[in-house]
Amino acid sequence: MAKESTTTRKRAVGAEAARIERRILRAITAARDDGMTQMELIKKLDLTEKVARRLLGHLRVEGRKRIYIARWKPNNTHLCPVFVIGSLPDAPKPAQKMLRSNPEPRGASVEALAKQEIAAEHARWAATWVPHCDPAAAWIGRAAA
């Protein structure tokens, strides 16, 4: 009986995947030559990233390819493939270039900002600090004790 329910579940999952694939194909067809990125499909069809990635890969399998990468669209930090209906060869991914406008390495700018913040906090504290007793006497008194 457990085997029968597993088979039924597999059929249901397969049917759901086929339904979502048809929705993906309709959305990409509606976009025409502009195509759609994975994130645009996720937002439009309310899919999870895992499901979208798996089904887009399934639609691009050699031998029964239904979508292809027409071009690569720059995002903030990486390049995203733009999918279009058809079985043409995928556009080659351009060489990765620095997409950030900041030429400094990530760690250097963060470290510099942290040092500036610490210096500002120390200056603010030093401006309001008042000793409770003579600092020299306090130091000597602790050393003698």
Extents of the domains making up the chain? 2-85, 106-144
User: According to the model, what pLDDT value does residue 4 have?
Assistant: 56
Residues in the chain predicted with pLDDT less than 50, given as ranges, are 1, 145
Cα dihedral 111/113/114/117 (nearest 10): 160
User: According to the model, what pLDDT value does residue 104 have?
Assistant: 56
β-sheet bridge partners, residue 71? 82
Whether residue 46 contacts residue 24, with contact meaning beta carbons closer than 8 Å, is answered with no
Q: Which CATH architecture has domain 2-85?
A: Orthogonal Bundle (1.10)
